């Protein structure tokens, strides 16, 4: 056992029951919020008005956003478009106003704040039909991703490992989306992209743990299944923590300095990576253990006389 001397020796699997209760509670809260409160969909899903404007000099998007909020457009999304003098404004639909009336009110507010410095470039209306299509396509993309992962892990490892990996990914997706539902943070296409990225990140972490479990099942044949899993997770724990922390540093920097337009994206990744790191240990590995995987499932059976028959 000297090979494991420098590794941590935390009894992670011994705490799996408590972790399962925590996961179950978070999933119930998330699903309850999603069903009862729903998601605060952005203009990409709900439809709305898109206004492109130009300035003679560079302008701060946050200043324009403040002007629009004072004019009654609290949900306005403002971002730089091309250069620092070009802005793209996204506005949610309003039943009492047409697209033309909304764009006129926006321009009036901006003309008052920046006299003779604002130029209208274009106005587009994104209808609810487009929003419905984006919602459906986004959901299908997530389902296809999970199905492909199930097939990949089943072929690379074993079907019970595939079930454990998909359970962990579903766990991560539900809790991440539930976080946005509980806090009613705007859910747009950038957040959906972040959720899909979380699936990839979480799967990568899970595959690393599964690889080590498979390797140790073949090396440590005298250990029971729980002990092998504990050793394997502890061996990969430092790598997992370092990877997650360095990624978190980048995401926190994006959240703080990246501007409001990518707050949703960075928030989804921060929550998803935290939950994904946890799930690779306490959901994926615990699920495999619960499904009854053993050494016999991963160690090839050598038939009597096979080694002699295989000689050249």
Give the β-pairing of 77-81 and 83-91. Answer: antiparallel
Residue 188 structure tokens: 């747009």
Tens digits of residue pLDDT in 189-231: 888 889 888 888 888 888 888 888 888 877 777 777 788 888 8
Tens digits of residue pLDDT in 226-269: 888 888 888 888 888 888 899 899 999 988 887 677 888 999 99
Give the orientation angle of helix 225-257 with respect to helix 263-279, to 10 degrees: 170
Tens digits of residue pLDDT in 155-181: 777 787 888 888 888 899 999 999 999
- The pLDDT assigned to 280 comes to 84
What average pLDDT does this structure show over 10-25?
Answer: 84
Judge whether residue 7 has pLDDT over 60.
no
Say which DSSP state 4 is in.
Answer: G
CATH T-level topology, domain 8-39+130-298 = Multidrug efflux transporter AcrB transmembrane fold (1.20.1640)
Q: Where are the domains of the chain?
A: 8-39+130-298, 48-126
What average pLDDT does this structure show over 107-114?
Answer: 80
What CATH number does domain 48-126 carry, 3.30.70.100, 3.30.70.3400, 3.40.50.1820, 3.20.20.60? Answer: 3.30.70.3400
Higher pLDDT, 300 or 270: 270
Closest alpha carbon to 195 in 120, 124, 272: 272
**Per-chain mean pLDDT for the chain:** 79
Cβ within 8 Å of residue 93, ≥6 positions away: 46, 47, 48, 49, 128
Q: What is the sign of the dihedral through the CA atoms of 276, 38, 66 and 79?
A: positive
- Give this prediction's pTM: 0.75
Closest alpha carbon to 40 in 4, 113, 101, 92: 92
Instruction: Kindly list the distances between the CA atom of residue 138 and the CA atoms of 41, 131, 166, 194, in Å, as whole numbers in the listed order.
Output: 13, 10, 18, 12
- The pLDDT assigned to 294 comes to 63
Q: Do residues 85 and 54 lie in contact, with contact meaning Cβ atoms separated by under 8 Å? A: yes
Helix, strand or coil, per DSSP, at residue 284: helix
- The pLDDT assigned to 307 comes to 47
Helix, strand or coil, per DSSP, at residue 118: strand
Mean pLDDT: which of 20-34, 61-75, 88-102 is highest? 20-34
């Amino acid at each position: 056992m000297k090979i494991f001397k420098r590794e941590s020796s935390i009894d992670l699997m011994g705490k799996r029951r408590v972790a399962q209760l925590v996961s179950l509670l978070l999933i119930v809260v998330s699903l309850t919020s999603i069903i009862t409160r729903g998601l605060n969909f952005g203009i990409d899903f709900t439809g709305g008005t898109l206004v492109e404007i130009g300035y003679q000099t560079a302008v701060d998007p946050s200043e324009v956003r403040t002007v629009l909020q004072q004019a009654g457009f609290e949900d306005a999304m403002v971002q730089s478009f091309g250069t620092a003098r070009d802005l793209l404004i996204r506005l949610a639909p309003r039943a009492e106003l047409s697209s033309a009336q909304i764009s006129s009110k926006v321009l009036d507010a901006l003309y008052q704040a920046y006299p003779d410095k604002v130029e209208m470039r274009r106005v587009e209306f994104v209808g609810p039909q487009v929003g419905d299509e984006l919602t459906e396509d986004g959901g299908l993309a997530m389902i296809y991703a999970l199905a492909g992962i199930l097939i990949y892990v089943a072929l690379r490892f074993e079907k019970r490992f595939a079930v454990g990996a998909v359970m962990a990914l579903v766990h991560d997706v539900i809790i991440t989306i539930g976080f946005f539902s509980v806090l009613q943070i705007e859910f747009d296409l950038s957040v959906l992209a972040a959720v899909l990225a979380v699936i990839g990140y979480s799967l990568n972490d899970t595959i690393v743990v599964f690889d080590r479990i498979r390797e140790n099942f073949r090396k440590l044949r005298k250990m029971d299944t729980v002990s092998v899993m504990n050793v394997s997770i502890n061996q990969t724990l430092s790598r997992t923590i370092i990877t997650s922390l360095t990624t978190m540093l980048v995401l926190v920097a994006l959240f703080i300095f990246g501007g409001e337009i990518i707050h949703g994206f960075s928030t989804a990744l921060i929550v998803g990576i935290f939950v994904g790191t946890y799930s690779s240990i306490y959901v994926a590995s615990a699920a495999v253990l619960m499904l009854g995987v053993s050494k016999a499932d991963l160690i090839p059976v050598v038939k009597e006389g096979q080694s002699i028959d295989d000689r050249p």
